[in-house]
Each structure stands twice: as structure tokens, then as C-alpha cells.
Chains A and B, each alone.
Chain A
Amino acid sequence: MRILARVREDQLRRALQKIAETRGAVFVDAEPLSEEELGDALRAAPDVVVVEAGEVDDLARLRAETNGAGSALVIACHDSDRCETVALANADDWILLPASDRELDIRLETALQRAEGVRFPRRTEETIDRLRFQELLYDRLTGFPTLPVMIDRARELLDRRGELTILYIHYVWYSKIEEIYGWQKLDDVLESTAAAVRDFYARECDDGDNLMMVAHVADDDFILFTHVPAEPGVAERRLKTLTTRLEGFLRSRMEREHGEEIAALVGVYVGTATIFRNPKIRTERLIYRAIREAADAARGAEEWERTLKISDLKATLREGAVFMEYHPIIVTQTEEIYGFEALARGTRRSLRSPEVLFQVAEEANLIWELSRLLRQRAVQGILPNLKQGQFLFLNVDPHDFDDPEFRNLRGEDLGIDDPGRIVLEITERTAIKDYARFQEYLTAFRERGFRFAVDDAGSGYAGLGSIANLAPDFIKLDISLISNIDSNFLKQNLVETIVGFAESQGAQVVAEGIERREEFETVRDLGVHLTQGFLFHKPSAGVPE
């Protein structure tokens, strides 16, 4: 708690100091401050402000300022006439001097409670304002305070310890988790990350008082204020160890809780900066500067790893170090295998995830090279085992259409006689810039015998009209339409509409991401032709019996 007092009378000041001491509160003596400096002190949001009547000229202004800062206001008066002024100023409580220590203490408590009532009104129509207000101060997901709240506490910590260390935790999403897995997944990941950071600190630092966190300073980054006690010279090394351990801890926790697949899509980088109290520089400026430094350090670490990944990719392309997995697609009615979707992975650990593989290739301008390698591998890897009538679904990156070698692709280039067994999957997520030209390419592919699937359909990036224009042979439903479809009637209706539409176009609908029996039964009842998901098969290197 912080008590700010502007009183001339010594006895009152000493009494307040004593109360602050017994309550373990911080006492700020505002007596020597000018009105302007007092305004500054109020911005630090003390819990309670005590002024002696007559000490402040503009009580109305002070009331407005304390309201703004969320502070309780108590006015001390020497005679009961003054109490009229107090009523006008709308203070939270008043004291008629001289007052006993006990009375003072109680008055402060009452004022605090009243101010609390003002800050968080209980009336129903204002509930929403309260929720909004809390939302500004505390992050909904992580429960961590937001930056404006933290700056104050950071200053307090800096004042008390003389130094402050900032850890900046920078997150990089290699792929849009939100788009692929839905926002709930992203929320889950952020929430559990916050819990992981808390756990790490509970384990690493005995003194919980040292740790404070801020959520979401930029995108999904966190800041952590702490104090790393150590002799000069050793501090740097300790900090380095702490950083590495924290990164490792967050990564392994992510793998355990969300699986390797998701963990591979998330990069965690920690940067640090330490500042020391400097009375000549405004504390906020010091803190913000350190946050920037720590953020730069974290981004530097990311940059470095990016470079490593690109050199890994080059080696991957040179050595052909990729392996293919095949995810069976089954006929909903008979549960027989209809075909396989080829999924590529890098053999190097850093490029294991296909999303990371493609993102790095895009950054390094090596998409065409990567796609060529993967197409060859995908076909070679399954062709001998592909039964009569089964199809191979190949993912096509939108950039591939810029590659002349791809545009002129023929069955024989892939070593197959009948290109009709190849289904090229094009995602609905990518906006098609030049529609007319894209149609032209597709027509040319179709004339050469290839088939098409629109991937991630219904996710809202394109309407049914633009899917109709592409005239696909297959429509693969977006995963957001499938998860929990058994209990969501809106999703059921959307899927029903798409199935009806597909049938009128002579296309078949594929439901991806089927994980539960109930989901399968629901899409089956809705007439979805084909399904794919962990419920029946996981992707595997070979062909299941």
C-alpha cells in the first residue's frame, strides 16, 4: 500500500508514518512538493491521499486527480466549519483534528473501501465498464497485469533493490496457429505458457516478491521484471544461464502439453537487460529503454536462429533430407481407404514441421526447389503401394504456380501413367490475386488429366461462389467446421449446405480432422463423402494394411 500525505502538522505526519509502518505501507511525504509536483506524485497512483485542509488551494481539482489515479482521498480539518469544504470536495473521508492513532487508522481503511467502491462500481449497468476496466489492467488469458500497472511496480522494485532485470520473452509463430487450429488453441498455448513461466519462477526464485510479469506487450510477447542478486561479474553469467534454462523449460513444457506438432510451430526467445537506479534519469524512461534493449536482444536471438534454419534448409535440399508421411482418406460409408494425402517433413530437427519448412523456404526464396523435391518424393514414396482406384492428394503452394516447371507439369514428370490419380490441393486461405490467370493454369492442368481439391473450404476466406468458379473435384472442409460439430448446429448447417452444393457441382466433400466418433457420425449423417482424421488413421511413412 502507498500513502501519500500533504500535511503541515508534525503530530499528524508522525501518526500517519506510524500507521504506514505497522501496515507495511510506503509513506510518501508530499509536504514539500509544489502543486505541479503533487500532480506528478498522484500519477503514481497511491492508494490513499491525506491532505490537511488549507494545504491545497484547489480541492476540486485534487479530487478529480485522485479519482483519475484511483486513490482514496482523506481530508484532515482543524475545526468542524471546515467540514463543509470537505463535503464540497467529495472526499472519501475526513478527520477532525486532533485524532487518535486508532481513529486515523480506521478512517484510512474506510476511505480505502469507499474509493474501492468508486473504482469498481457494483451496479449492474456498470458491470460491463468494470469488466472492461479490469481487462485494461489485467490480461484476460494470463491474469498478468498489463504494462501501465507494471511500470509502477517496476519502479517500486527498482527503488527498493537499486537494480532491475528485465526478461523479454519473444514468441514467433511459424505458422498461423490461429488459422489452422482456431483461436481457442492459440489461447490455450498462451495460457499454458504463462503458467509455465510462473512455475519456472516459483522453482528458480525463492523470493516471489522479485517477480512480476506483463502480458502481451507486442503481439504475444511477455515481459518479466525480476532481480538477479549476484556479485558483479557473476551476474552476467547467471543471467545467461537463466535465459537458456527458461527457453528450454518453456519449449519442453509446450511439447508436453500441446504435442510436438504445435511446439514446432512456436519459437521462444528470451532477451535480457539490467538497469540500475539513477536519480538523474526519469525512472519510466530507464525502464522503457531497458524493455527496448531486452526486446532487441530477444529478436537478435530469433534472427540468429533464422539464419541457422536457412542454412539447414539449403543442406536439406542438397541432401534430399526430407521424408514423407501419408494420411489415409477413407470413404465415409464403407470406411475403406480412398486415397492418401502426402505430408512432408524435414529430417533435421529444426525443420521437422512442414509449416516451418515452408516458411523458411519462403524466406530464403527456395519454395520452388523445395516443392519440386517434395513432389518427386511424395509420388515415389507411395506409387508401388497405391492400389487400383486409390488417389494421391498433393499439397500445392500458391507460389508453385509462378514456377514454370510446375506449370508445365505432366504425369510422366512424376513417373505416373495416369495423372487422374493425382489430386492437387489448393488452399482457400491464400487470396488469389489474378483470378483469370489462375483459372487458365487450372484449366491447363485439368486438360492434362490432373484433379483438384479446394483445401480449408468454408473457413470464410472465400465464399461458395469462388469455390464454384474453380470447379474442384473435391472440397476439403476447414477444420474449424469439424471440431465439435456434433454439438454445434451452425457448423452442421454450413456443412450440409456445402455438401448440397458439392453434389450439384459433381464434387465430393472431405471432412478433415475427425478425432471423435461423434464427429464422424455427425458428418456421415450429413452426407459427407470422405473423411480423414486421427480417429481412423494417423499419418505414417507407409501404407496401412
Chain B
Amino acid sequence: MEQKPILVVDDDPDAVEIVGTFLESRGYRVASAPDGRQALAKVDELRPALVLLDVMMPGMDGWEVCRIIKNHPDYGDTRVVMLTARGEFADKQEGLRCGADDYIVKPIRLDELGQKVERNLEARRRAQ
């Protein structure tokens, strides 16, 4: 069975590079997108298992992208993990409203990233 990729969405190319390299070194397939629109196009094309989604992006923000993915019947089992600069209660409530599955507060710590990616993929496998 072909492993479904992880999609990293961030307008900061350095962040994409770091996160992507780290995940690849752990054996995941990785794809990336620099903004919300292209992220949605990639989701439609690749049907990733998990999307790491930056909240603060020009144009369509991460919340909106998350809402569209989670609202769409075809992408229902895609896990969405938000990357947010602020981990305040109200931010997480926003995540709840958008249907996000998890979140990581920036700056990203790679061990936390690895652990959260794995637990979400595991939850997805269990649900199938």
C-alpha cells in the first residue's frame, strides 16, 4: 500500500524546509504548499493523510483552509494539525470551531512535531 503524504503548508520557505526535511528523515512522504489556495489544490490532488497548516498566511488563512478541508466529505479522514504562533485558549477555541485535530505552538520543537504527527496518524489508522 502506498503511504499517503504529509502536506506542509507555510508561507515561510525556511519553515517548510526544516519541517519537510525532518519528516522525510523519519521516513514520511512530504509535499508542501506556500499558501492556502495551493494547499487546497494539493489536498485535492494528493489526498494527504495529514496537513500541517500554518495559521498566519497571506490571503486565505489557516483557519479557513482547515474549515474547508474538514467540511469537505471527500477529505473527511484527513487529519489537520494547526501551526500557531499563539497557544492561547481563544486560539484553540478557534481551532475547535474549524474542526482541527491538534495544534503545535511555534517556534516548532522537532521532538514535539514528531510526536504529534505520529499520534495523529495513529488516530487516523484507528478510525479506519
Contacts and interface: CB of A to CB of B under 8 A. Distances in A.
11 contacts: A124-B41, A131-B44, A140-B72, A140-B73, A487-B123, A487-B126, A489-B102, A489-B103, A489-B116, A489-B119, A490-B82
A484 to B, nearest CB: 9
B41 A125 contact: yes
Interface string B28-53: 00000000011011101100000000
B93 A458 contact: yes
A127 B41 contact: yes
A480 B96 contact: yes
Contact of A490 (B41, B44, B101, B127): B101
Contact of B90 (A463, A490, A493): A463
B100 interface: yes
Contacts of A126: 41
Interface centre among B72, B93, B123 (most CB of A within 10 A): B93
A490 B45 contact: no
B106 interface: no
Nearest to B90: A463
A187 B76 CA distance: 13
Given A464-B89, A490-B102, A481 B96 contact: yes
Interface string A435-470: 000000000000000000000001010011000000
B95 interface: yes
A488 interface: yes
Interface of B: 37-38, 40-42, 44-45, 71-73, 82, 89-90, 92-97, 100-103, 116, 119-120, 123, 126-127
Contacts of A463: 89-90, 93
Interface of A: 124-128, 131, 140, 183, 187, 458, 460, 463-464, 480-481, 487-491, 493-494, 497
Nearest to A518: B126
Given A128-B41, A494-B92, 18 more contacts: A124-B45, A127-B44, A128-B44, A183-B71, A187-B71, A460-B93, A460-B94, A463-B89, A481-B96, A487-B123, A487-B126, A489-B103, A489-B119, A490-B96, A490-B101, A490-B102, A490-B103, A497-B89
Contact of B93 (A487, A489, A494): A494
**4 pairs of A and B residues whose beta carbons are closest in the complex:** A489-B102, A487-B123, A460-B93, A127-B41
Contacts of A494: 89, 92-93, 96
Nearest to A492: B102
B21 to A, nearest CB: 23
A183 B96 CA distance: 12
Contacts of A480: 96
Given A490-B102, A497-B89, A460 B96 contact: yes
Contacts of B126: 487
B41 A489 contact: no
A489 B120 contact: yes
Contact of A128 (B37, B92, B116): B37
Nearest to A480: B96
Contacts of A488: 101-102
A163 B37 CA distance: 45
A481 to B, nearest CB: 7
A396 B8 CA distance: 47
A458 B44 CA distance: 32
A127 B89 CA distance: 35
A431 B126 CA distance: 39
A124 B42 CA distance: 8
Given A463-B90, A464-B89, A490 B40 contact: no
Contacts of A487: 101, 123, 126-127
B105 to A, nearest CB: 11
B116 A490 contact: no
A27 to B, nearest CB: 38
A187 B72 CA distance: 11
A400 B101 CA distance: 38
B91 to A, nearest CB: 10
Nearest to B123: A487
A511 to B, nearest CB: 15
B81 to A, nearest CB: 8
Nearest to B82: A490
B84 to A, nearest CB: 11
A489 B120 CA distance: 8
Nearest to B98: A490
